[in-house]
Amino acid sequence: MNLTVSALKNVGVEVSGFDINQPLTEDIKAELKSLWYEHAILLFRDQDISPEKQIEFSRIFGPLETHPLKVNTSDEYPELFVLENGGDKDNFATAFYEGEEIVGRLDWHMDLHYTARPNHGALLRAVVVAEEDGLTGFGDLAKAYDALDDDTKALIEKLEVAYSFSMQRRNMRFVNLGGYEPGPGLPMKPADIGFPDFADAVYPMVVRHPMSGRKVLEVVEQFLDRVITPQQFGLSNDESIELLERLIAHSKQPEFTYFHQWREGDMVLWDNWRAMHCTTGTKPGVKRLINRTTIEGDVTLGRVLVAE
């Protein structure tokens, strides 16, 4: 069996040439894993796959973890995290953008980033797809880092950034709040969804990937709050804000991102230590169902900021 690899638009690759329902050799497993490290975003299409197979396949990439949001885990398969639009939970995820009602839109983020210990990766499988909308965007922050100019690279090498968890999008300082209105059913505080009050998480602005050694620009818009003590590095407060705005705009450019329009049965695996992702959401009532498995993060990439 030989794997076929073809580039997606801008970042990531599609991998085919194997049958997930046949036993995979150790060589194929090793090749899949190395493609994951090389490209960060892998698309698999047209695999006839059951929840059990998704779980088994995901284990090639590392031990699985269950998500702290217990409300969204599957009763039958604790390793599956169910992302559903068009069901009775829509009310918790509906907001208005330029007057348009949208379910489940999420800004660019890395999963569990706010804990300082993000999961290593995740695999999404489309069970029910929306005919339009419902795209998932992926952004390669190693490529975004590589494309920075040398002066910026030298500056950010020394800096740290803090992320501040909030249930309210309006509290996020670096997302686009133009035309945004929260819906009436959105959770207001972490306890509303059984979350604790997370302390801020701090990361070096450039994180070295624990496996590939590549440098990753650790600046992602969701929950991004501030540069730590910018004055110590010759930056005023305003300059530190401008720097973060510039880096966010840089990383979201089309050349570092890929938006996936789902077909039934598609699977996308991404490296959450390197790639950010976002969702465009759907119109109210539109059915969309994605099953996610999560690959455990066994390295703490940031640190939790303990109040002094």
Residues engaged in binding Fe ion (CB under 5 A): 111
Q: What letter represents residue 308's amino acid? A: E
Q: How far is the CB of 239 from Fe ion (least distance, A)?
A: 31
Question: Which residues fall within 8 angstroms of residue 3, CB to CB, at 6 or more apart?
Answer: 15, 16, 17, 18, 28, 31, 32, 35
CB-nearer residue toward Fe ion: 57 or 138: 138
CB-nearer residue toward Fe ion: 55 or 106: 106
HSE-CB of 185 using CA atoms within 13 angstroms: 11
Q: How far is the CB of 171 from Fe ion (least distance, A)?
A: 18
Q: How far is the CB of 23 from Fe ion (least distance, A)?
A: 31
CB-nearer residue toward Fe ion: 111 or 266: 111
> 3-class DSSP state for residue 49?
coil
CB-nearer residue toward Fe ion: 240 or 294: 294
Q: How far is the CB of 42 from Fe ion (least distance, A)?
A: 17
The tokens of 153 are what?
A: 């690279």
Helix (H) or strand (E) holding 106: strand 106-109
> 3-class DSSP state for residue 122?
strand
The tokens of 176 are what?
A: 């686009």
Q: Which residue is nearest to Fe ion (CB)?
A: 111
CB-nearer residue toward Fe ion: 84 or 111: 111
Q: What letter represents residue 34's amino acid? A: S
Report phi then psi at 235, rounded to 5: -115, 135
Q: How far is the CB of 126 from Fe ion (least distance, A)?
A: 15
Report phi then psi at 290, rounded to 5: -125, 135
Question: Which residues fall within 8 angstroms of residue 63, CB to CB, at 6 or more apart?
Answer: 295, 296, 298
Q: How far apart are CA 260 and CA 135, in angstroms?
A: 5
Q: If we measure between CA atoms, which residue out of 67, 37, 64 comes closest to residue 52?
A: 64
Q: How far is the CB of 261 from Fe ion (least distance, A)?
A: 18
Q: How far is the CB of 106 from Fe ion (least distance, A)?
A: 6
Q: How far is the CB of 83 from Fe ion (least distance, A)?
A: 9
The tokens of 32 are what?
A: 């899949």
CB-nearer residue toward Fe ion: 93 or 227: 93
CB-nearer residue toward Fe ion: 36 or 81: 81
The answer to whether the beta carbons of residues 240 and 297 sit under 8 Å apart is no
The tokens of 31 are what?
A: 């090749």
The answer to whether the beta carbons of residues 216 and 208 sit under 8 Å apart is yes
CB-nearer residue toward Fe ion: 65 or 111: 111
